[in-house]
Amino acid sequence: MKKIIILVFLISSILINTVIAKHKIFDGTSWLNIPAQFPSVKNTDHIKDIYIRASEGTAFLSGTPNILYNTHTKDNIILSINLIYENKNNTFLPLYYSLNIIGMQKKGVPTDQINLYISQIKRTFNL
Amino acid sequence: MKTDSPFDKIMNLKMIISILSVFLILTVLITIKKVSSSQDYMTYLKKEIGPDLPTEEPKTQTSTLPYLNGYDWDDINKMKASIFEKTSFKISILQIIIETSMFLKKPVVEDISKLEIYISALDTFYSSPDNRMIPVFFAMKVIEMQQQAIPEENVSAYRSLLLEKFNKPTKS
């Protein structure tokens, strides 16, 4: 009986954690976890492209578009985001802000200003 | 042949009732946790996304648009992946759309706990080929209007405007 109760509690705690994890902001951890999350998908670039378009498209349709869609290729954006998130200091960045940073890099914004922008975001998220 | 005594039967019944009670309590706890975590998340986003973050300058619209529409949504259903993966994919898409809209201070929906409802509603919405040119972003707004019990004629008028706007050959 005790074993059953312990097992039930164990399963429920896993479920609760899953529910909480689902509502985490989509950031570098989520991005880097894509291959593990989609084991059936051999090339996850399509999934990454859809995520980028979900964010870029929302900005575009909200009247505040990024500039990436007409200056970068799909592969180029994916590579740039991979580069940003490979730096462990940047994994907290939500996808939308990573796309903004790529836009800033393309515009030739100096690195120190980009770093300042990243620290601003970090402060905003209390990290 | 061994038969259970009345005492054993009662004990077995008690055990089953105990297990069922534990399950019931856990289900209630999980539901409460889910609702509260969703509300915390929304409060967190609303509170923590400050107004001081710099944003990109608005850009002139071009003919190559980056947004997702019903064709993209339909492609997910055709993917060679498990149902769990497809659902997980759709949840992440909606999560990104909602978060981006909140970062831009123009939230597309008010309650992120309704993600599963949106997925099902979007599947229904895009099952009509007429709707597939409408971006997911606006389809969510239509569904949000329906969720808020806005009169059907208003929802219908909004959908007609969207059809008029997006059925033009602008999307690749």
Split at pLDDT 50, 70, 90, the class of A127 is: low
Lowest-pLDDT range of A46-50, A90-94, A108-112, B111-115: B111-115
> Which of A1, A42, A61 should we substitute to test contact with B (largest number of B Cβ atoms within 10 Å)?
A61
In three-state form (DSSP H/G/I as H, E/B as E, the rest C), the secondary structure along A50-119 is: HHHHHHHHHHHHCCCCCCHHHCCCHHHHHHHHHHHHHCHHHCCCCHHHHHHHHHHHHHCCCHHHHHHHHH
Read off the DSSP letter of residue B149.
T
Q: What is the pLDDT of residues B78-112, one digit of tens each?
A: 888 899 999 999 999 999 999 999 999 888 887 77
How far, in Å, CA of B28 to CA of A49, rounded? Answer: 38
Put simply, whether B97 touches A (Cβ < 8 Å) is yes
* Location of structure tokens 């229904």: B124
Give the chain A residue whose CA is nearest to the CA of B86. Answer: A38
Q: What is the pLDDT of residues B125-134, one digit of tens each?
A: 999 999 999 9
Give the chain B residue whose CA is nearest to the CA of A47. Answer: B89
- The alpha-carbon gap from B53 to the nearest alpha carbon of chain A, in Å, equals 7
* Closest by CA position to B112, among listed B3, B39, B161: B39
Higher pLDDT, B56 or A50: A50
pLDDT higher than threshold 80 for residue B49: no
Q: Of the candidates B23, B29, B100, which has its C-beta nearest A59's C-beta?
A: B100
Residue B109 has what pLDDT?
Answer: 86
Taking residues B15-33, what's their average pLDDT? Answer: 80
Q: What is the pLDDT of residues A56-109, one digit of tens each?
A: 999 988 887 666 766 778 888 999 999 999 999 899 999 999 999 998 888 899
Lowest-pLDDT range of A7-16, A86-95, B76-85, B148-157: A7-16
Residue A68 has what pLDDT?
Answer: 75
Asked if the Cβ–Cβ distance from B65 to A60 is below 8 Å, we say yes
Neighbours of B42 (CB within 10 A): 19
Residue B138 has what pLDDT?
Answer: 94
Q: Are B87 and B76 spatial neighbours (Cβ–Cβ below 8 Å)?
A: no
Taking residues B7-36, what's their average pLDDT? Answer: 77
Residue B100 has what pLDDT?
Answer: 93
CA distances from B94 to A79, A80, B159, B169 (A): 23, 23, 20, 25
What number is the ipTM of this complex?
0.81
Window A:29-68, CB contacts with B under 8 Å: 30, 37-41, 47, 50-68
Tokens of A83: 């580069």
Residue B23 has what pLDDT?
Answer: 84
Residue B65 has what pLDDT?
Answer: 63
pLDDT higher than threshold 70 for residue B58: no
Tokens of B168: 């033009």
Read off the DSSP letter of residue B135.
B
CA distances from A114 to A90, A120, B101 (A): 12, 10, 22
Residue B124 has what pLDDT?
Answer: 95
Tokens of B91: 């949840």
Residue B76 has what pLDDT?
Answer: 93
Q: Are B108 and B140 spatial neighbours (Cβ–Cβ below 8 Å)?
A: yes
Put simply, whether B122 touches A (Cβ < 8 Å) is no
Domain boundaries, chain A: 25-124
